[in-house]
Amino acid sequence: MTRILVLGGTGDALKLARRLKSEDIYSLAGLGKIPDDLVCHVRVGGFGGTEGLVRFLKDERIGLIVDATHPYAAQMSANAASAGRIAAVACWALRRSPWEPRAEDDWRFVCDWNEVRAALTPFARPLFTLGREPLAHLDEIPAHQYWTIRCLDAHPGTEQARIIGARGPFTLEGERALFEENRFDVIVSKNSGGAATEAKLDVARERGLPIVMLRRPSLPDVERIFETTDALLAALETLRIENDARMIRPGS
Ligand code: NAP
């Protein structure tokens, strides 16, 4: 039996977790909803860095780490890869493909918050879809700007900012209505990939709006990388069949 630890926090990870067995573990940072209908164990909260994760892997006799965190959760991914190396536990990762700009799109790539701020200078009504980070900068909003920030939980706004609490998936109709109501002139986004939050790109294209796109962080090398949950689930199934065969024919 290979006991699997899935590092989650995304819709794709939850899809994987729904297929785990009772001995497996689904791990969440604790920022979003905690599912209460899974067959596997669910644990919540950090491990205490790489060292803590190494201890956890040993204590729980984990045989495989599956890093299914968001592509921008770079710290957790780095810790998973190095803890796996130290504890001699294989690490697989689910890394969905980034979105690609089409010919008619106007994407302006940035690497960090300072570049976001500089890229926004000519605009007045940005929509931020970067998670919580803009909340730490509410006192820096230039006089000519009004920010709309969409993140997982609602927060009180200010005279110059509205904060919308919402979690995807977002529909094309819903995004069209949001853009129409708020008259955004630029969108700020992570390149998350996947369908759940893609509609904003379609509506930006329809309205000819530029997108300030935060580049993906670099992620560590791991034993195997999968682009889809289906491919990863198929590999897990193969691993289980091989393990079962080994238990039936010990030493083979
Ligand atoms: P991060 O910066 O890479 O991780 C920060 C710390 O949070 C990690 O060092 C770890 O603490 C803890 N942590 C993160 N994911 C964990 C998990 N699945 N299980 C246990 N501990 C975890 O991560 P983040 O960007 O803050 O994201 C936090 C969570 O939200 C992740 O699970 C991610 O999948 C999800 N999420 C992130 C984004 C995003 O844009 N970043 C978007 C959607 C969902 P220790 O060092 O103490 O172990």
Ligand 1 centre distance from Cα of residue 29 (Å): 5
102 within a domain of the structure (yes/no): no
Convert the pLDDT of each residue in 50-84 to its tens digit: 999 999 999 999 999 999 999 999 999 999 999 99
Rounded to 5 degrees, what angle do the CA atoms 174, 177, 181 make? 140
- Mean pLDDT, to the nearest integer, of 96-121? 97
Residue 29 beta carbon below 6 angstroms from any ligand 1 atom? yes
Looking at the structure, tell me whether residues 136 and 183 fall in a common domain: yes
Number of compact structural domains in the chain: 2
Looking at the structure, tell me whether residues 224 and 200 fall in a common domain: no
Q: Where residue 142 sits, what CATH number does that domain have?
A: 3.40.50
Domain range for 113:
107-214
pLDDT at position 99 = 98
Residue nearest to atom 43 of ligand 1 (CA): 70
Looking at the structure, tell me whether residues 225 and 196 fall in a common domain: no
pLDDT at position 242 = 84
Convert the pLDDT of each residue in 191-249 to its tens digit: 999 999 999 999 999 999 999 999 999 999 999 999 999 999 999 999 988 887 777 77
- Mean pLDDT, to the nearest integer, of 172-178? 98
Looking at the structure, tell me whether residues 58 and 132 fall in a common domain: no
Looking at the structure, tell me whether residues 167 and 83 fall in a common domain: no
Average pLDDT, the chain: 95
Looking at the structure, tell me whether residues 122 and 208 fall in a common domain: yes
pLDDT at position 252 = 52
Residue 46 beta carbon below 6 angstroms from any ligand 1 atom? yes
Looking at the structure, tell me whether residues 152 and 122 fall in a common domain: yes
Ligand 1 centre distance from Cα of residue 77 (Å): 8
Looking at the structure, tell me whether residues 131 and 172 fall in a common domain: yes
pTM of the model: 0.92
pLDDT at position 250 = 61
More confident residue, 223 or 33: 223
Looking at the structure, tell me whether residues 114 and 209 fall in a common domain: yes
13 within a domain of the structure (yes/no): yes
Ligand 1 centre distance from Cα of residue 248 (Å): 38
Residue 75 beta carbon below 6 angstroms from any ligand 1 atom? yes
Ligand 1 centre distance from Cα of residue 125 (Å): 29
pLDDT at position 1 = 77
pLDDT at position 244 = 76
Looking at the structure, tell me whether residues 91 and 186 fall in a common domain: no
d(C-alpha 51, C-alpha 49), whole Å: 6
174 within a domain of the structure (yes/no): yes
Residue nearest to atom 46 of ligand 1 (CA): 49
252 within a domain of the structure (yes/no): no
Residue 7 beta carbon below 6 angstroms from any ligand 1 atom? yes
Burial label for 26, CB within 10 Å (0-12, 13-18, 19+), is buried
CB 199 within 8 A of CB 170: yes
